[in-house]
A and B are shown apart, each in its own frame.
Chain A
């Protein structure tokens, strides 16, 4: 009976969704409304909604490095299958001021959502299983005119580089605080923000910016001097720090820390330069620089060169000990007028055993910015040198298959792997394939382009980990097991989205 209900529910939902797609093709001409009262503002606001079916499956013999350091259990399969999305409302602006709120939800639906398959973060996992979650992710007041934009409260921050949505599971990161954007100087956009909290993708609470960075001791509980009680595990924190800030599981348990930040984007003709600085009180300061120059190589081809650099240093009372690291990146890309795009990337991350986790970058406030941040690998780990290549084809623009975009990528991640290196990790490669199909556009969109109406996104990655290392020798030198060992795995994801 329950299965029957589910089948009926699925069919009915998609009938409505498909109908909405058809509705999208109708012209929608509305008379402009004059907003003179608060009542007008509430009655003439705009709705935003997403109905999403999403599923992910990751199959590996060992556990994935990024998600659960220390877990080396065999026969690991992780998966979720969920339905949900978001529903939001923003009032019409009255004297340039509006109010907005958005609810986000994810609910187990079909597929396997067994407790022992958790870890991917598509459903609520904090209680040990994979369950529904519902959260008020946005609740803000906004002032906006032609040159100034101020938002206070919970909000989506999609384009603040190290702060962003990272919408790669079911619902995105959202942040709490105040943001100000200024565009009064032509070609220059200034961004200033004071961020007090972040909602994890599958979280229901906003956490401070140290917890959101996933700071851990790496070895569980520590003693008063900051040394690991379990000496069989590697400690990620280096240098002096206050051990009373960490709980028995090695998670940060100290005072909430905020992040003031500032960013500037300057664009002129073919050139873009960006400078960002993120300062988390008593934790870490992050500088990020980005530049891109593009030019027409021929009538049909446009080339671009980009570079990036970031530096992280501990600040204040250094709750995570010493942080002294950097990364840089180079990118070359070519784009054709008929929908082809090719790129070649290089990234290198500092290796410094006196820095947190050997120099790994803190990137968990949004989408990792490294050029070679692909589907699973982010190229943020200590000492990583990565080379990535890729090609994207807009099959609709190419006249091959309407409404379809595909992308192929391959990257080689070369990590420090000498036995003497305490933060050695496995070398690995990642090959990915992405497909996006739109029911509303025939061409001119990308894998992640925000589009109204119905679309399907399919992504698959194959990660190949090198395993011919002397793990026993490493343990003999350093005294504990290789931090985590990962075997080859496949990561597959599908999203069926209807945006309205």
Chain B
């Protein structure tokens, strides 16, 4: 059998060298890159402070993605510069605080009519399996991902993940954010957009050795004559089917997630505001899900309503865009989060978040983020400051 692989390997070029359409795959290849500086400071009353500075980014190369077959490879790296203290707590590097370089994408893609299949190392974007780009190096996944139009007005996603690489590791393993995945995770996603102003999404994650999760989300939007937008969104997460690796009380995910979230928002020309509410009626948290950061409406930089022990969270967000100036455009945002848990083991807290983001050009930005968490129990209050400068080309 091994000999068969070698033969395939050796003689494939000979067999298909005459495929003239393949020529264009490399002629129209593309390269994308980003350079990012990331400074992160964490202050806690207990003295468990951490700070680190990192420089890194990514390099991504794809053959012509319009061809039937194409290939993509992407590397991410995060290298420490200057002084740091407890750098492992910033999650900018490896778990031991050392520099991190990872292969985040390496896949073969197949394009069909209204469908695409990718096999290899993938960066994904689903509610409970996603890349989480809040550091320099994202999460990534090994497996296959099919996306296609199955029915009128309906998009289908069928993914199977066999291994996962966390954002602080360079190795793909069977370890997810919330435990061992054993035989893997299979996801079915349905997106229906056949109704005016309403989008419906549903996801089912089948992980027999960990826990399975069902998600449904409905987004309603109303656009006024002046192009202002009103939205009303609802989402519901429910998990169960505990496998041998499930941990019910795990804050990142377990077999007792029962979370309902609602968001109401209004977007005007230069400001946006929203009020979100969520309650997790279950013991399990949903902070990182299977990998990345779970996409629950009540999510700020650090504060969120995704924790374990039945948190109930209110979150008020508002953002304002300054007028364009000579040096680009700035945006400011403020978020207030109020979380109270219905279980005595949980953490009650209030949080205040501010950010200033300046976009010099479409490819260069500076982003300053600050959040303060005040806990109502013995847990140490904390301040988080991130300064991120990035340039992409």
Are B103 and A132 in contact, CB atoms less than 8 angstroms apart? Answer: yes
Q: Looking at the complex, which one of A5, A42, A204 makes contact with B119 (CB distance below 8 Å)?
A: A5
Residues of B within 8 A of A22 (CB): 17-20, 22-23
Q: Looking at the complex, which one of A5, A89, A204 makes contact with B33 (CB distance below 8 Å)?
A: A89
Residues of B within 8 A of A454 (CB): 13
- Name B19's closest neighbour in chain A (CB-CB): A19
Are A111 and B393 in contact, CB atoms less than 8 angstroms apart? Answer: no
B108 CB-CB contact with A under 8 Å: yes
B73 CB-CB contact with A under 8 Å: yes
A342 CB-CB contact with B under 8 Å: no
Q: Kindly state the separation between the CA atoms of A111 and B162 in the bound complex, as whole angstroms.
A: 21
Q: Kindly state the separation between the CA atoms of A21 and B14 in the bound complex, as whole angstroms.
A: 11
- Residues A6 and B75 in contact in the complex (CB < 8 Å), given A19-B25, A39-B363, A500-B26: no
Q: Chain B 351-368 against A: per-residue CB contact (8 Å), 1 yes, 0 no? A: 000000000010100000
Are B393 and A15 in contact, CB atoms less than 8 angstroms apart? Answer: no
- Flag the segment in B4-12, B187-195, B201-209, B342-350 that touches A: B4-12
Residues of B within 8 A of A103 (CB): 59, 75, 77, 101, 103
B258 CB-CB contact with A under 8 Å: no
Interface residues of B in 58-75 (CB under 8 A from A): 59, 61, 63, 69-71, 73, 75
Q: Looking at the complex, which one of A5, A11, A17, A110 makes contact with B6 (CB distance below 8 Å)?
A: A110
Are A47 and B61 in contact, CB atoms less than 8 angstroms apart? Answer: yes
A472 CB-CB contact with B under 8 Å: no
Q: Looking at the complex, which one of A15, A131, A136, A139 makes contact with B69 (CB distance below 8 Å)?
A: A15
Q: Chain A 120-137 against B: per-residue CB contact (8 Å), 1 yes, 0 no? A: 000000000001111110
* Least Cβ–Cβ distance between A33 and chain B, in angstroms: 14
Interface residues of B in 21-57 (CB under 8 A from A): 22-27, 31, 33
Residues of A within 8 A of B16 (CB): 14-15, 18-19
Are B103 and A134 in contact, CB atoms less than 8 angstroms apart? Answer: yes
- Residues A53 and B9 in contact in the complex (CB < 8 Å), given A9-B120, A22-B22: yes
A87 CB-CB contact with B under 8 Å: yes
Q: Kindly state the separation between the CA atoms of A132 and B120 in the bound complex, as whole angstroms.
A: 14
Are A42 and B393 in contact, CB atoms less than 8 angstroms apart? Answer: yes
* Least Cβ–Cβ distance between B139 and chain A, in angstroms: 15
Q: Kindly state the separation between the CA atoms of A20 and B102 in the bound complex, as whole angstroms.
A: 26
- Residues A16 and B69 in contact in the complex (CB < 8 Å), given A23-B23, A135-B101: yes
- Name B28's closest neighbour in chain A (CB-CB): A23
- Name A18's closest neighbour in chain B (CB-CB): B13
A229 CB-CB contact with B under 8 Å: no
Residues of A within 8 A of B12 (CB): 10-11, 14-15, 18
Are A16 and B73 in contact, CB atoms less than 8 angstroms apart? Answer: no
A496 CB-CB contact with B under 8 Å: yes
Q: Chain B 79-116 against A: per-residue CB contact (8 Å), 1 yes, 0 no? A: 10000000000000000001101110010100000000
Are A11 and B59 in contact, CB atoms less than 8 angstroms apart? Answer: no
Residues of B within 8 A of A105 (CB): 75, 103
Q: Chain A 380-423 against B: per-residue CB contact (8 Å), 1 yes, 0 no? A: 00000000000000000000000000000000000000000000
Q: Looking at the complex, which one of A10, A12, A26, A87 makes contact with B5 (CB distance below 8 Å)?
A: A10
Residues of B within 8 A of A26 (CB): 23, 27
Residues of A within 8 A of B98 (CB): 205
Q: Looking at the complex, which one of B6, B26, B361, B391 makes contact with A16 (CB distance below 8 Å)?
A: B26
B255 CB-CB contact with A under 8 Å: no
* Least Cβ–Cβ distance between A23 and chain B, in angstroms: 4
Are B25 and A110 in contact, CB atoms less than 8 angstroms apart? Answer: no
Residues of A within 8 A of B13 (CB): 14-15, 17-18, 21, 439, 454
Are A19 and B26 in contact, CB atoms less than 8 angstroms apart? Answer: yes
- Residues A19 and B59 in contact in the complex (CB < 8 Å), given A3-B1, A7-B5, A14-B12: no
Residues of A within 8 A of B326 (CB): none
Residues of A within 8 A of B119 (CB): 5, 8-9
Q: Kindly state the separation between the CA atoms of A10 and B119 in the bound complex, as whole angstroms.
A: 11
Q: Chain A 153-184 against B: per-residue CB contact (8 Å), 1 yes, 0 no? A: 00000000000000000000000000000000
- Name A3's closest neighbour in chain B (CB-CB): B1
* Least Cβ–Cβ distance between A449 and chain B, in angstroms: 20
Are A10 and B31 in contact, CB atoms less than 8 angstroms apart? Answer: no
Are A87 and B61 in contact, CB atoms less than 8 angstroms apart? Answer: yes
Q: Looking at the complex, which one of A13, A15, A111, A496 makes contact with B19 (CB distance below 8 Å)?
A: A15
Q: Looking at the complex, which one of B2, B17, B71, B120 makes contact with A110 (CB distance below 8 Å)?
A: B2
B171 CB-CB contact with A under 8 Å: yes
B161 CB-CB contact with A under 8 Å: no
- Name B392's closest neighbour in chain A (CB-CB): A42
* Least Cβ–Cβ distance between A351 and chain B, in angstroms: 42
- Residues A204 and B5 in contact in the complex (CB < 8 Å), given A12-B71, A22-B23, A136-B79: no
Residues of B within 8 A of A151 (CB): none
* Least Cβ–Cβ distance between B371 and chain A, in angstroms: 30
B144 CB-CB contact with A under 8 Å: yes
Q: Kindly state the separation between the CA atoms of A132 and B6 in the bound complex, as whole angstroms.
A: 20
Q: Kindly state the separation between the CA atoms of A22 and B10 in the bound complex, as whole angstroms.
A: 17
A101 CB-CB contact with B under 8 Å: yes
Are B8 and A10 in contact, CB atoms less than 8 angstroms apart? Answer: yes
B170 CB-CB contact with A under 8 Å: yes
A260 CB-CB contact with B under 8 Å: no
A95 CB-CB contact with B under 8 Å: no
* Least Cβ–Cβ distance between A375 and chain B, in angstroms: 22
Contacts A/B (CB < 8 Å), 30 sampled: A5-B119, A5-B144, A6-B5, A7-B5, A12-B108, A14-B9, A14-B16, A15-B13, A15-B22, A17-B13, A19-B17, A21-B17, A22-B22, A22-B23, A23-B24, A26-B23, A47-B31, A47-B61, A49-B61, A87-B59, A87-B75, A103-B59, A103-B77, A103-B101, A110-B6, A131-B171, A133-B170, A204-B101, A204-B170, A500-B26
Not counting A16-B63, A89-B31, A136-B79, a sample of 9 additional A-B residue pairs whose C-beta atoms are within 8 angstroms of each other reads: A9-B108, A15-B19, A16-B22, A16-B25, A16-B71, A18-B12, A21-B13, A23-B23, A204-B101
Q: Give the 7 A-B CB pairs with smallest separation, nearest first.
A: A19-B22, A18-B13, A14-B12, A103-B75, A42-B393, A20-B26, A12-B108
